[in-house]
Structure 1
Amino acid sequence: MLDVVDREDRVTGQAPRGEVYARGLIHRCVFVLARDAEDRIFVHRRTASKLVFPSHYDMFVGGVLGAGESYARAALREAEEELGVQGLAQPEPLLKFLYEGPGGAWWSYVHEVRCDLPVSPQVSEVDWHTFLTREELDRRIADGRWPWVPDGLEAYRRLRAHRGSRQ
């Protein structure tokens, strides 16, 4: 079950995940930018079985919030699950926006976490992964060869703008 929210991120009800997507209801998601000890960014390709944006690349781990779940709790849960680690620090909240685009609409709360642990990504979520420098990631985005998840790409662009030239 997911919380259904309005354009101000106020809970208006609850519905099963499949119904939320089928009806295009606004819900909540977290995005977590994971950096390793060398300050590189975790990048992965989603599995072909994913409901939303299968086989697309993403620079965030994350996902939808369960009914009643806080953004902070979901950020830590999703980061540990998708990276396949335990004991991460609480991801730092950075910015929040209403994503409206391919796939639907959802409140998106962007976080960041340092992951110095060896990752073992969830095979049901991640087909392939690596860590890239910001410059390498920006080149991959610009060259257009990899299909990126549109919500992650929007979150990354907003994060870059939020931080200016530093990231």
Structure 2
Amino acid sequence: MGSDQELIDIVDESDRVTGRATRGEAYARGLRHRVAFVLVRDGDDRIFVHRRTAEKRVFPSLYDMFVGGVVGAGETYDEAALREAEEELGVRGLPVPEPLFTFRYDTGDGRASWWSAVYQVRCTLPVRPQAEEVAWWAFLPEEELERRLGSWEWAPDGLVAWQRLRDRRDGRGRSEMAG
């Protein structure tokens, strides 16, 4: 079954499940769904940064500091965070990602919206990123990632999540925020 045929939960503005649709239908109709984001740090506290493949339906060829993806129908954010992190990193036996906060992301053009749960995890395993998802990758020190924010083209939802993560760390964030 292709990813367009995967069944996902559709949610309302308060992140309550209101129905189900295929991923393809959800994107075509702009139906609000759920996504898990995982910030991955290695044993040296560097952050896994990657460029999405050109074949990705959402934000192709853009850089991202989070791995993750769409939450499946009936799946919890926690289950999706671990599943997606292991799939994208190409590892098994990753520690359970730590939940940090949720927020609603809107593209701003009325075409798409999703509830996003943000996590973090430490990965000391050797990674073999999934070729279908990851075109380039590296573990970068946080200072290097910050320097690249102005020069690389980033997935906009990842940028919002990154800013909210920094705001929370700096004491300026709230646990749930509407996009």
| Deviation of 1:160 (Å) | 0.5
| Deviation of 1:38 (Å) | 0.3
The answer to whether the aligner puts 1:129 opposite 2:137 as a matched pair is yes
Q: Select 2:126's aligned residue among 115, 118, 121.
A: 118
3-state DSSP of counterpart to 1:137:
helix
Give the TM-score taking structure 2 as reference length: 0.89
Aligned residue for 1:101? Answer: 107
Q: Select 2:21's aligned residue among 12, 15, 20.
A: 15
**Which amino acid is the alignment partner of residue 130 of structure 1?**
A
CA deviation string 1:82-126 (max 9, x = no partner): 000010110000010001126621000000000001110000000
Structure 2 runs not aligned, ≥5 long? 1-6, 172-179
**Which amino acid is the alignment partner of residue 19 of structure 2?**
G
3-state DSSP of counterpart to 1:153:
helix
**Which amino acid is the alignment partner of residue 140 of structure 2?**
L
Aligned residue for 1:27? Answer: 33
3-state DSSP of counterpart to 2:44:
coil
For these two proteins, the number of residue pairs brought into alignment is 163
For residues 66 and 122 of structure 2, what CA distance do their matches in structure 1 show? 13
CA deviation string 1:35-87 (max 9, x = no partner): 00000000000000000000000000000001000000000000000000010
Aligned ranges 1:14-163 → 2 under 5 Å = 14-101=20-107, 104-141=112-149, 143=150, 145-163=151-169
3-state DSSP of counterpart to 1:119:
coil
3-state DSSP of counterpart to 1:67:
coil
Structure 1 runs not aligned, ≥5 long? none
**Which amino acid is the alignment partner of residue 135 of structure 1?**
E
Percent identity over the alignment?
A: 64
3-state DSSP of counterpart to 1:28:
strand
For residues 100 and 85 of structure 2, what CA distance do their matches in structure 1 show? 15
Which segments of structure 1 move beyond 4 Å, counting only runs of 4 or more?
none
